[in-house]
Amino acid sequence: MSSETHEFQAEVKKLLDLMIHSLYSNKDVFLRELISNASDALDRLRFEGLTHADLLPEEELQVRLLADPEARTLSIEDNGIGMTRDELVENLGTIARSGTLEFLQSAEGAGDSSPELIGQFGVGFYACFMVAEEVSVLSRRAGEAGATLWKTDGSGEYTLEEAQRETPGTTIEMRLKPADAEDGLADYAQEWTLRQIVTRYSDFVAYPIRLTVMEKKEGDDLAQAETREDPLNSMKAIWTRPAAEVSEEEFKEFYTHITHDHEDPLLHFSTTLEGNFEARALLYLPSRAPMDLYHREMSHRGIQLYVRRVFIMDECRDLMPEYLRFVKGVVDAEDLSLNVSREMLQQDRQIQAIRNHLVKKVLESLKKMMDEDEEKYLGFWAGFGPVLKEGLLPFDAKKERILDLLYAPSTRDESQLTSLSAYVDRMPEDQDAIYYMTGPSREVLAGSPHLEAFADKGLEVLLFSDPVDEVWLEQMPPEYRDKKFQSVGRGEIDLGSKDEKEAEEGDREEEAYKDLIECLRNAVQGDVKEVRLSSRLKQSPSCLVVDEGDLSPQLEAMLRQAGQEVPERKPILELNPDHPILKRLQAIFEEDGTDARLSEYAELLLGQAVLAGGGQLTDPAAFTRKLSGLMEKAL
Ligand code: ADP
């Protein structure tokens, strides 16, 4: 029988070289690649068997691992479709897929500094050269009588010869490199090593993976094969089973398996994407916000990506937007290449389609929970609401759907949250904006002077105190059900329905207080942009207002904290014309426009307004001195 020698294609040589000298620490993935190939071969045979039943073997379709610790060999064997001689040349001597070339280039470009690229995304068959000195492939195509033996030491050439194989299928035999912990090379002929790798990477492969270890019995020279008949893998790809057939217990077990979270998940659901891009997903919401929710770099258990039941990566961030980063689960894509790299995922149209589908489904299931079990939803909202609200920042388009899910404290009933949609349902017909206020805490907001006129008119105001609220509401407030958001702490407030008499009175007040206001303005000039009469105050004498178009003080502080340069912004001081203090000041002013008390009171009114808004005084000592002086006089 003649043996022919062939040269590898130039790209394959490069790839082999990369594999042989790979610095990549996780060499275990070679087994995942070979098992995945075997599983594909079984899939294809099963498919052909649908029309050619005679091709199907009598034996169960399976993958066998054969390890010989003594001889340091490992074989992976399947009774799948097999390869003809030409197919061996075509498949294992050339690189057909463009993805591999791209991978090669990026791996080369990244150089040794980024060996993590290798192996993480699968380089297919060639990955076995990370662990083997010599590889032979014995394959017989289903439906054919002869077999072919393909063999190489990875040095640039391979040989082909005719051979025998009892039944169709493929056997890949590797002569293993010596184990070397420093180099990340485990002893791949040991049972526990193989068992571990299979459980980690191939647990959900749909065919049984069985292991046979050659053992030397004491006092007996004959090597005995010890077969473990139980498959190493659970084959429990529970996302491929109809949800109705999976028990709650199984769902929970699987959740714990992938997340290492031992609490029950809050919710799980399955979804299938059909059409051009096929995928199945099984998603979970945790019942409690994890510690690392706000430290993205640390979190690493999100959505697992599988391709045709083969594990690809643990946290596939491209499948879920940031604001849904708490969603856990599995996505199993049908048409994605195993070789896909993280860089490629970002642009992959299939990944985009799956992501859009998943986002839609997650938001829908949240809405369903909100409608059916509000208490449960509020539990979710307490932990994850601030993250969900990140989806309202300008870059995402699904704002209306997220606003559908929004809850906030409101002035209507301080003991409970209200949904935004319930707020809008309650709006009086002539109210054309959603009134809200942002601030450092719910307590500060609830006691804020800005709310007085609204309370007086029976208008409900939503109170937002998460840092993220400053950003989405203040920077680019969305509309919801055709209603604008209107901050009660910003700009001029016109609560409407002033009749002519009231309007006239307003003008008269304006005129009467004109000179006093001018005098008070001079006293606090350095700290405020303007002093004016207020239409939002009822009980309090003063409050601070953010000018239209200015940053809110909280947002300003956040930006400064983040190291950004923010231009100095001054607030507007509003005074209550109906308050006794103002009336008294007017009297003093009329008597003597230079009375020292006027400027002192201006500063006190300003300090009060700062404190009521939860802000900090620039000179607290001076403020308390003035206040004490005043108290003394009053006693
Ligand atoms: P991929 O599996 O991603 O296509 P590989 O380099 O791993 O890339 O394999 C190249 C090709 O070799 C496969 O597409 C398949 O046609 C063939 N092949 C590999 N392993 C087997 C196997 N065990 N049985 C049959 N064909 C195989």
Give me the residue spans of the domains in the chain.
3-231, 238-375, 406-487, 500-634
The per-residue pLDDT for 122 is 47
Rg for the chain (alpha carbons), in Å?
36
Q: Whose CA is nearest to atom 15 of ligand 1?
A: 91
CATH tag, 238-375 = 3.30.230.80
Q: What is the pLDDT of residues 130-167, one digit of tens each?
A: 999 999 999 999 999 999 999 999 888 999 999 999 99
Q: Given the structure tokens 């897929």, which residue do they identify?
A: 97
Q: 93 or 299, which is more confident?
A: 93
75 lines ligand 1 (CB under 6 A): no
The per-residue pLDDT for 218 is 65
The per-residue pLDDT for 109 is 58
Do you know the residue count of the chain? 635
The per-residue pLDDT for 112 is 45
The per-residue pLDDT for 120 is 42
Q: Which fold has domain 406-487?
A: Rossmann fold (3.40.50)
From 377, 386, 446, select the one nearest 413 (Cα to Cα). Answer: 446
Q: What is the pLDDT of residues 258-284, one digit of tens each?
A: 777 778 999 999 999 998 889 999 999
> 604 — phi, psi (to 5°)?
-65, -40
Q: Given the structure tokens 């439906």, which residue do they identify?
A: 143
Query: 115 pLDDT band (50/70/90 cuts)?
Result: very low
User: Which of helix, strand or coil describes residue 578?
Assistant: coil
Domains 3-231 and 238-375 share a fold: no
Segment 198-203 shows an average pLDDT of 86
287 lines ligand 1 (CB under 6 A): no
What average pLDDT does the chain have?
A: 87
Q: Which fold has domain 3-231?
A: Heat Shock Protein 90 (3.30.565)
Q: Are strands 417-419 and 407-409 parallel, antiparallel or unpaired?
A: antiparallel
Dist. CA 38 → ligand 1 center (Å): 8
Query: 116 pLDDT band (50/70/90 cuts)?
Result: very low
> Would you say residue 117 has pLDDT above 50?
no
Q: Which mutation among 76, 87, 91, 139 tests ligand 1's pocket best, with the greatest number of atoms within 8 A of CB?
A: 91
How much is the pTM? 0.70
Q: What is the DSSP letter of 243?
A: G
Q: What is the dihedral of CA 555, 556, 558, 562, to 10 degrees?
A: 140
169 lines ligand 1 (CB under 6 A): no
Q: 508 or 271, which is more confident?
A: 271
Segment 438-452 shows an average pLDDT of 91
Helix intervals (H) in 240-373: 248-259, 342-347, 349-372
170 lines ligand 1 (CB under 6 A): yes
What CATH architecture does domain 500-634 belong to?
Up-down Bundle (1.20)
Q: 227 or 350, which is more confident?
A: 350
The per-residue pLDDT for 633 is 86
Query: 228 pLDDT band (50/70/90 cuts)?
Result: low
Quick one: which H or E segment has residue 336?
Answer: none
Q: What is the dihedral of CA 316, 318, 323, 326, to 10 degrees?
A: -10
Least confident of 406-410, 432-436, 488-492: 488-492
79 lines ligand 1 (CB under 6 A): no
Segment 15-19 shows an average pLDDT of 81
Q: What is the pLDDT of residues 343-396, one digit of tens each?
A: 777 778 888 999 999 999 999 999 999 999 999 999 999 999 999 999 998 666
Contacts (Cβ under 8 Å, ≥6 apart) of 226: 212, 213, 214, 215
The per-residue pLDDT for 496 is 66
The per-residue pLDDT for 618 is 86
C-alpha neighbours within 13 Å on the C-beta side of residue 624: 4
The per-residue pLDDT for 162 is 96
**How far apart, in whole angstroms, are the C-alpha atoms of residue 16 and residue 100?**
12
81 lines ligand 1 (CB under 6 A): yes
Query: 85 pLDDT band (50/70/90 cuts)?
Result: very high
Q: Which mutation among 15, 36, 37 tests ligand 1's pocket best, with the greatest number of atoms within 8 A of CB?
A: 37
Least confident of 75-89, 291-305, 566-580, 613-627: 291-305
**How far apart, in whole angstroms, are the C-alpha atoms of residue 171 and residue 167?**
11
> Would you say residue 499 has pLDDT above 70?
no
The per-residue pLDDT for 573 is 95
Q: 224 or 215, which is more confident?
A: 215
Query: 564 pLDDT band (50/70/90 cuts)?
Result: confident
The per-residue pLDDT for 598 is 92
> Would you say residue 443 has pLDDT above 60?
yes
The per-residue pLDDT for 221 is 58
The fraction of the chain above a pLDDT of 90, given in percent, is: 52
Segment 397-422 shows an average pLDDT of 92
Contacts (Cβ under 8 Å, ≥6 apart) of 595: 588, 589
> Would you say residue 532 has pLDDT above 50?
yes
115 lines ligand 1 (CB under 6 A): no
Q: What is the DSSP letter of 55?
A: G
Q: What is the pLDDT of residues 321-342, one digit of tens each?
A: 989 999 999 999 988 876 666 6
> Would you say residue 597 has pLDDT above 80?
yes
Segment 589-616 shows an average pLDDT of 91
**Separation of CA 382 from chain center:** 18
Nearest atom in ligand 1 to the alpha carbon of residue 337 is: 3
42 lines ligand 1 (CB under 6 A): no
The per-residue pLDDT for 333 is 92
Neighbours of 222 (CB within 10 A): 6
Query: 554 pLDDT band (50/70/90 cuts)?
Result: confident
The per-residue pLDDT for 301 is 61
DSSP bridge pairs for 284: 268, 328
Q: What Cα–Cα distance (Å) separates residue 440 from each residue in 263, 537, 577?
A: 32, 20, 28
Segment 519-543 shows an average pLDDT of 93
Q: What Cα–Cα distance (Å) separates residue 115 from each residue in 23, 139, 157, 291, 631?
A: 6, 32, 25, 30, 72
**How far apart, in whole angstroms, are the C-alpha atoms of residue 287 and residue 267?**
8
Q: Which mutation among 65, 125, 129, 135 tests ligand 1's pocket best, with the greatest number of atoms within 8 A of CB?
A: 125
